[in-house]
């Protein structure tokens, strides 16, 4: 059973930090692209950051560059999203997702992804 489970969300004040985790089971991450997506209230789901596990090449949207970092731990079969300097507009339901990818780069296009977690809520508010 191929499964992704997110954790680490919560309520944080503006300027604070959170680290999200995505634990994979039923497959190993190597040979996949892993992405983080978020869906803000009243908005459509958007790709935030991804990593190509064959090369560790990453691709992030401009609004999170310098604040968010995606990484992986092969031994734990887990990817992380370290989020610093959080802003209210970062609020949303965060998902991790995966697709088979031997290419050295990853895509943030939602349509590329075949496997999805259930999401973890991030709320940034004072």
Provide the pLDDT for residue 1.
Answer: 76
Closest of 117, 24, 19, 36 to residue 74, by C-alpha: 24
d(CA 86, CA 125): 9
Say how far apart CA 38 and CA 88 lie, in whole Å. 13
Contacts of 28 by beta carbon, 8 Å cutoff, 6+ apart? 74, 77
pLDDT, one tens digit per residue, over 34-69 is 999 999 989 999 999 999 999 999 999 999 999 999
pLDDT at res. 48 = 97
Determine the average pLDDT of the residues in 78-91: 97
Using the Cα atoms of residue 107, residue 113, residue 115 and residue 117 in order, give the sign of their dihedral: positive
28 or 95: which leads in pLDDT: 95
pLDDT tens by residue, 101-112: 989 999 999 999
């Amino acid at each position: 059973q191929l499964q992704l489970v997110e954790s680490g969300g919560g309520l944080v004040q503006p300027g604070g930090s959170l680290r999200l985790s995505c634990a994979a089971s039923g497959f190993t991450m190597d040979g996949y692209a892993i992405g983080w997506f978020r869906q803000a209230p009243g908005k459509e789901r958007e790709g935030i950051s991804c990593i190509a596990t064959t090369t560790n090449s990453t691709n992030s949207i401009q609004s999170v560059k310098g604040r968010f970092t995606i990484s992986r731990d092969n031994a734990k079969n887990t990817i992380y999203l370290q989020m610093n300097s959080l802003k209210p507009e970062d609020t949303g339901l965060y998902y991790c997702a995966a697709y088979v990818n031997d290419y050295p780069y990853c895509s943030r296009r939602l349509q590329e992804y075949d496997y999805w977690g259930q999401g973890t809520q991030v709320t940034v508010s004072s």
